[in-house]
């Protein structure tokens, strides 16, 4: 196989036990005969060297050039064509996605940029400023799990959720506990903060919402003609909201009701001001690689990896992967018929090979998804030691699902996204749909919880605390899972669902999922603008 592309160079080098710095890879990729250059570079490396430097490769290539000048040199037919003279060895699209698809209507991001031809990597590759980098992880359940799966654990996780979300709401309303509300005289005004335990429509088309707090429950009526009745469509069981209203006249008889005048979600303040990085630096936000599936798009992945080696990607210094690294086994019915690799460890080995294709100087962070080999219930801890070992390439960092990663001052909430299926199933199309996955993410931001509804598809692992609450507002919210690309801003928070690297599976076809595969959203950390590049 010809070795023109940086990704192939890297994978060939690693198969021989070597790494190389980015410039060295680019030089090898640009050589007249990359195979011979690679052979020579490896042969001439001293025994104790594991990483080939650009100086070493330059020296090897200089020898080649000298040999080329002699009439006896065999050389290949393209003679001494230079990197810049030759065209792209393999067409790499790297095209920013335009606005045509209408998915990014509400983005402030950098879209519709003219088509750029990413051809062969430029010689002048970047030189990252490692000292300027910073990446800190918060909210990681890995190693902290206390849950034993007992009933008490469910009680504590819900108490914690209620305590933390009600705190966010209490500053906005003057709420009383439901037990105190029951004793109030009829006709008075009050407010309640509670977890939604039931939503019913009445015979006359109004809405009866039962709210639960630590002292009991209370029924609240939203009249269908109220301007906020629309908000009832957005309610999910188990989320925490606040209502203000007037008590029915018979309240102190014991079967009163609250007529709701206002309804509040914990929400993100409209005036939220996200933080940005102090220098021009970018992060690639991806997810759902699904290595091991017959539909994994190896070519698109390699084009992405190659692009990362180009000058155009010189500011991309972070790679964040939001779960589903591999296809896994036994995840859905008849999945084994579409597996390319049947052993889950072999799938991670192969994933690791693909990861080697991206530049070694990238800071990488990965969290698991529902196809990964960790517990399915959320919060999911990061990969165990054995899997970490397999994926240790480029010193990638690993954290639980969800996690908040602060990259050069920008808080990025990473969550795989299983609850999005539920939000999309429960809410009307205009509020959340597979075509606009970011709108489903807006709902999670509004509820300040990554998986509000318990008991459906989203499995919850009971812990002492609820890792799924958003205590602070993230600057960027990054999810995957639904295999659809979509992004936009909600109260200045950028929500990005990053698509996938797996073509439509037979199973997805049967359930009408049409994936957006082979795209890489690239985030400017200094402006929070986004560009999406297509590699499929």
Q: Which is nearer to Fe ion, 293 or 534 (CB)?
A: 293
Name every residue whose Cβ is closer than 8 Å to that of residue 267 and which is 6 or more positions away in sequence: 445, 446, 448, 491
For position 513 contacting ligand D5M by CB under 6 A, the verdict is: yes
Helix, strand, coil tally for the chain in percent (to 5): 30, 25, 50
Coil, helix or strand at residue 397: strand
Cα 5–chain centre separation? 27
Shortest distance (Å) from residue 51 CB to Fe ion:
33
156 sits near Zn ion (criterion: CB under 5 A): no
In the 8-state DSSP scheme, what is residue 513?
-
- Exactly one of 11, 370, 401, 403 binds ligand D5M (CB under 6 A); that residue is 370
With CB under 6 A as the rule, give the number of residues binding ligand D5M. Answer: 12
Q: Are 83 and 50 in contact (CB under 8 A)?
A: no
- Residue (234 or 288) nearer to Fe ion, CB: 288
372 is a contact residue toward Fe ion (CB under 5 A): no
Beta strands in 383-492 (DSSP E): 397-398, 403-407, 410-415, 476-479, 485-490
CB of residue 219 vs Fe ion: minimum separation in angstroms? 40
332 binds, among Zn ion, ligand D5M, Fe ion, none (CB under 5 to 8 A by kind): ligand D5M
Closest CA to 164 of 445, 437, 434, 467: 467
> Which of 395, 430, 511, 512 lies at the binding interface for ligand D5M (CB under 6 A)?
511
Q: Can residue 481 be called a binding residue for Zn ion (CB under 5 A)?
A: yes
Instruction: Provide the mask over 393-422, with x wherever binding to ligand D5M is found by CB under 6 A and - wherever it is not.
Output: ----------------------------x-
User: Binding to ligand D5M (CB under 6 A): which residues in 432-491?
Assistant: 481-483
For residue 68, count CB atoms less than 10 angstroms from its CB and return exposed for 0-12, middle for 13-18, buried for 19 or more: middle
- State both tokens at 112: 């519709």
Q: In the 8-state DSSP scheme, what is residue 34?
A: H
324 counts as binding Fe ion under rule CB under 5 A: yes
Number of residues that bind Zn ion (CB under 5 A): 4
Query: Under a CB-based contact definition with an 8 Å cutoff, are residues 241 and 194 in contact?
Result: yes
CA distances from 227 to 200, 207, 472, 533 (A): 18, 13, 29, 41
288 binds Fe ion (CB under 5 A): yes
Is 497 an interacting residue with respect to Zn ion (CB under 5 A)? no
Contact segment (CB under 5 A) with Zn ion among 4-12, 81-89, 316-324, 490-498 equals 316-324
Applying CB under 5 A, the span of 96-104, 147-155, 190-198, 288-296 interacting with Fe ion comes to 288-296
DSSP letter at 283? E
Q: In the bound complex, what is the minimum distance in angstroms from residue 414's beta carbon to ligand D5M?
A: 15
Asked if 212 touches ligand D5M (CB under 6 A), the answer is no
User: How many whole angstroms separate alpha carbon 421 and alpha carbon 433?
Assistant: 9
Give the DSSP letter of residue 535.
-
**CA angle, residues 441, 420, 334, in degrees to nearest 5:** 150
Q: At CA 534, angle to CA 531 and CA 536, rounded to 5? A: 165
Indicate the residue among 288 and 317 with the shorter CB distance to ligand D5M: 288
Q: Binds 8, which of ligand D5M, Fe ion, Zn ion, none (CB < 5 to 8 A, cut-off by type)?
A: none
| Interaction of residue 499 with Zn ion, rule CB under 5 A | no
Quote the least distance from Cβ 323 to ligand D5M, whole Å. 8
Binding of Zn ion by 516 (CB under 5 A):
no
CB of 511 to ligand D5M, least distance (A): 5
Nearer to ligand D5M, 306 or 324 (CB): 324
Question: Does residue 288 bind ligand D5M (CB under 6 A)?
Answer: yes
CA 493 remoteness from chain centre: 14
Q: Is 237 helix (H, G, I), strand (E, B) or coil?
A: coil
Question: Residue 516, interface with Fe ion (CB under 5 A)?
Answer: no
Q: Is 369 in the site for Zn ion (CB under 5 A)?
A: yes
Choose between 18 and 354: whose C-beta lies nearer to ligand D5M.
354
Residue 482 contact, options ligand D5M, Fe ion, Zn ion, none, Cβ 5-8 Å cut-off depending on partner type: ligand D5M
The two structure tokens encoding residue 505? 């599976």
Within 10 angstroms of residue 424's Cβ, the number of other Cβ atoms is 21
User: In sequence order, which residues have a C-beta less than 8 Å from that of residue 293 and are 6 or more positions away?
Assistant: 327, 338, 339, 340, 502, 505
Determine the angle formed by the axes of helices 54-69 and 22-29, rounding to 10 degrees. Answer: 20
Compute the least distance from the CB of residue 102 to Fe ion, in Å. 23
> Between residues 8 and 416, which has the closer beta carbon with respect to Zn ion?
416
For the chain, give the longest Cα–Cα distance: 107
Residue 309 partner contact from Fe ion, Zn ion, ligand D5M, none using kind-dependent CB cut-offs of 5 to 8 Å: none
Q: Which residue has the tokens 């029915």?
A: 248
Residue whose C-beta lies closest to ligand D5M? 482
Q: Which is nearer to ligand D5M, 193 or 517 (CB)?
A: 517
Nearer to ligand D5M, 91 or 514 (CB): 514
Q: Nearer to Zn ion by C-beta: 95 or 376?
A: 376
Sign of the CA dihedral running 1, 46, 81, 124:
positive
Residues within window 324-343 making contact with ligand D5M, judged by CB under 6 A: 324, 332
Question: How remote is the C-alpha of 319 from its chain's centroid?
Answer: 10
The length of the chain, given as a count of residues? 536
Q: Judged by CB under 5 A, which of 104, 119, 347, 370 binds Zn ion?
A: 370
Question: Is-contact 531 96, C-beta < 8 A?
Answer: yes
Residues that bind ligand D5M (CB under 6 A): 288, 324, 332, 370-371, 421, 481-483, 508, 511, 513
Residues that bind Fe ion (CB under 5 A): 288, 324
Residues that bind Zn ion (CB under 5 A): 324, 369-370, 481
């Amino acid at each position: 196989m010809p070795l023109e592309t940086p990704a192939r160079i890297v994978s060939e080098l690693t198969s021989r036990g070597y790494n190389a710095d980015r410039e060295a890879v680019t030089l090898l990729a640009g050589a007249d005969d990359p195979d011979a250059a690679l052979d020579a570079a490896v042969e001439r490396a001293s025994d104790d060297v594991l990483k080939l430097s650009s100086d070493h490769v330059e020296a090897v290539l200089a020898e080649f050039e000298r040999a080329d000048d002699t009439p006896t040199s065999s050389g290949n037919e393209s003679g001494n064509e230079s990197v810049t003279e030759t065209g792209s060895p393999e067409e790499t699209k790297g095209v920013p996605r335009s606005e045509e698809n209408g998915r990014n209507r509400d983005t402030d991001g950098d879209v519709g940029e003219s088509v750029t031809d990413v051809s062969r990597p430029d010689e002048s590759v970047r030189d990252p400023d490692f000292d300027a980098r910073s990446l800190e992880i918060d909210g990681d359940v890995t190693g902290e799990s206390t849950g034993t799966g007992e009933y008490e654990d469910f009680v504590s996780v819900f108490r914690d959720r209620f305590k933390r979300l009600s705190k966010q709401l209490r500053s906005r309303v003057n709420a009383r506990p439901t037990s105190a509300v029951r004793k109030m005289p009829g006709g008075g005004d009050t407010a309640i903060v509670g977890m939604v335990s039931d939503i019913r429509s009445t015979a006359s088309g109004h809405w009866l919402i039962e709210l639960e707090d630590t002292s009991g429950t209370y029924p609240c009526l939203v009249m269908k003609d109220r301007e906020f009745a629309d908000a009832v469509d957005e309610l999910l069981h188990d989320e925490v909201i606040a209502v203000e209203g007037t008590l029915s006249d018979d309240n102190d008889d014991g079967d009163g009701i609250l007529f709701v005048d206002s309804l509040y979600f914990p929400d993100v303040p409209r005036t939220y001001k996200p933080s940005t990085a102090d220098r021009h630096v970018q992060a690639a936000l991806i997810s759902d690689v699904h290595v091991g599936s017959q539909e994994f798009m190896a070519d698109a992945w390699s084009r992405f990896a190659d692009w990362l080696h180009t000058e155009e990607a010189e500011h991309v210094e972070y790679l964040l992967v939001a779960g589903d690294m591999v296809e896994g086994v036994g995840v859905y019915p008849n999945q084994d018929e579409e597996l390319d690799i049947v052993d889950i460890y072999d799938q991670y080995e192969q994933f690791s090979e693909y990861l080697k294709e991206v530049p070694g100087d990238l800071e990488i962070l990965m969290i698991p998804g529902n196809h990964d080999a960790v517990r399915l219930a959320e919060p999911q801890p990061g990969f165990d030691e054995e899997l970490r070992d397999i994926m240790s390439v480029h010193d990638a960092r690993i954290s639980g699902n969800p996690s908040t990663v602060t990259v050069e001052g920008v808080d990025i909430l990473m969550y795989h996204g299983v609850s999005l299926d539920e939000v999309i199933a429960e809410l009307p199309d205009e509020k959340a749909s597979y075509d606009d996955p970011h709108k489903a993410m807006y709902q999670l931001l509004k509820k300040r919880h990554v998986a509000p509804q318990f008991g459906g598809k989203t499995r919850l692992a009971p812990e002492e605390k609820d890792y799924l609450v958003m205590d602070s507002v993230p600057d960027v919210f990054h999810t995957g899972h639904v295999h659809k690309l979509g992004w936009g801003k909600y109260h200045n928070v950028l929500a990005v669902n990053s698509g996938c690297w797996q073509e439509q599976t037979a199973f997805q076809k049967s359930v009408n999922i049409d994936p957006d595969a082979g795209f890489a959203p690239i985030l400017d950390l200094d402006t929070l603008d986004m560009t999406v590049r297509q590699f499929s």
